[in-house]
A and B are shown apart, each in its own frame.
Chain A
Amino acid sequence: MKTVSSLLDPLWYERYKRISNLNIRSSIYDVTNRCNLRCKGCFFFSSGEHHVQEETDLKKWEAFIDREKARGVNLAILIGGEPTLCMDRVEAFYKRIPSYCATNGLIKVPRDRFPDMMVGISLWGGGEDEKILRGKDTFAISSRNYEGDPYTYYLYTVTPKQVGRIEPVIKRIADVGLKVHLQLLSNDEGVDGFHWHEGELRDLRVEMDEMLERYPQTVISSKYYHEVITTGMMLGRRFGWRECPSVTESLDNRQPPVRRLIHFYRWAADLKTVHRCCTSATRDCATCKDGAAHMSWIMVNKRDHIISTRDLQNWIEVYEMFAKLYRLIPW
């Protein structure tokens, strides 16, 4: 029988033990239906998930968050809409549960109210791509708001048009003293020229690996994650509905049961509706490129990686990447 210590040297074994007991219970919350941008390809608006009656009573939010905490949630991932349009709701989460705020960075999270809340700023490429997909180059504003912030990183959604052109974006981020994590556009709204082709994905994987080697202090990633997200394959299995771990627990009727995030829910801003998964129900799981879903897919399949030293090290690196993104371990 293969055991963890039989596959790892003492240094790697220590790294494994550092993360093996983190016991993360995350859920995702639409803090608001409103946004100060309307990006092409944003799953929230393209799927109609914003068509719920938003709860506006802060007391009800607080009671809801208390119930979520009692349910065992120990990592609240705040999305939207744009969460920073409702700072009081964000604060209600932050005061109760370790929280992560996904934002477009146009509004600064005030650090006197949220000294150590993790902030992830969405970025969809260089200035031109941002203008096409989001209507403006958000980096100019977000980088000014968050320059040098130790609890902030960019979540860079790479599009097919950026293959071969990632480095200038990474360099801009490094120059303002921030970190970056990479994921891939899923093109939910079928914007022309933004569909992925095999060759582009192959080239992108090489490029992502190069960025990790060239900017190790800036890029929070791992080569195994690059492999899995660009190929959609892990240990010979293909990502899709039968494999995705990020499905809302009450809507998950898959048989036989799938390895999944325990007690994961994605709640709408009415605090009653639940969405199917961490992205949208209208997305085709077979072409989903969501970074968090792929990362979680690897993480929940730990024992399947206890087959060789390299496989287990790959798993550890991905788990460390996740833990760093939420500052559960230091950068």
Chain B
Amino acid sequence: MPESTESKGIVRRVAEIIIEELKLEDVTPDTFKPDMDLVDELGIDSMDLATIALVLQDEYKIVIDEDDYPRLKTVRLICAYIEEKLAAKQ
């Protein structure tokens, strides 16, 4: 199924937040690979995830449970998680 415009927007915004919060260099939201494993490739750890989660919670007005961190392995999976949380709110 093709990705919706809304999903694309979230993917881009999540990539932007990760780049900004982790101060990543040589990458933009457009060149960030949404399926790249954030732990295995980028080396992020639970403290990084907690930092990112705080920003996402503020941005999307959702609660991200620490037990869910293992699910947040890629930008695309984070996007799916956010959409799931937003849908549950409606």
A302 at the B interface (CB under 8 A): yes
Do B27 and A259 touch across chains, with their CB atoms under 8 A apart?
no
Interface residue total, chain A, C-beta cutoff 8 A: 19
Q: A262-B46, A300-B47 are in contact. Are A20 and B27 (CB under 8 A)?
A: no
- Chain A residues near B42: list those with CB within 8 A: 3-4, 303, 306
- Chain B residues near A300: list those with CB within 8 A: 45, 47
Output the least CB separation between A255 and chain B (Å).
14
B2 at the A interface (CB under 8 A): no
B35 at the A interface (CB under 8 A): no
- Chain B residues near A17: list those with CB within 8 A: 40
Do A4 and B43 touch across chains, with their CB atoms under 8 A apart?
yes
- Chain A residues near B66: list those with CB within 8 A: 72
Do A5 and B41 touch across chains, with their CB atoms under 8 A apart?
yes
Kindly state the separation between the CA atoms of A72 and B22 in the bound complex, as whole angstroms.
25
- Chain B residues near A235: list those with CB within 8 A: none
Output the least CB separation between A104 and chain B (Å).
34
Output the least CB separation between B73 and chain A (Å).
10
Q: With CB as the reference atom, state the residue of chain B lying closest to A21.
A: B39
Contact with A along B37-72 (1 / 0, CB 8 A): 001111111111010000000000000001000100
Kindly state the separation between the CA atoms of A302 and B24 in the bound complex, as whole angstroms.
14
A11 at the B interface (CB under 8 A): no
B86 at the A interface (CB under 8 A): no
- Chain A residues near B24: list those with CB within 8 A: 1
A23 at the B interface (CB under 8 A): yes
Kindly state the separation between the CA atoms of A305 and B43 in the bound complex, as whole angstroms.
9
* Most chain B beta-carbon contacts within 10 A, residue among A259, A262, A306: A262
The interface of chain B, by Cβ under 8 A from chain A, is 22, 24-27, 36, 39-48, 50, 66, 70
Apart from A303-B42, A306-B42, A306-B43: 8 A-B pairs, beta carbons within 8 A: A1-B24, A1-B26, A3-B36, A5-B40, A23-B70, A262-B46, A262-B50, A303-B48
CB pairs A–B below 8 angstroms (15 shown): A1-B24, A1-B25, A3-B36, A3-B42, A5-B40, A5-B41, A20-B39, A20-B40, A72-B66, A262-B46, A262-B47, A303-B22, A303-B43, A305-B43, A306-B43
- 9 smallest CB-CB distances across A and B, nearest first, come from A1-B27, A3-B41, A1-B26, A306-B43, A303-B43, A302-B43, A4-B41, A262-B46, A4-B43
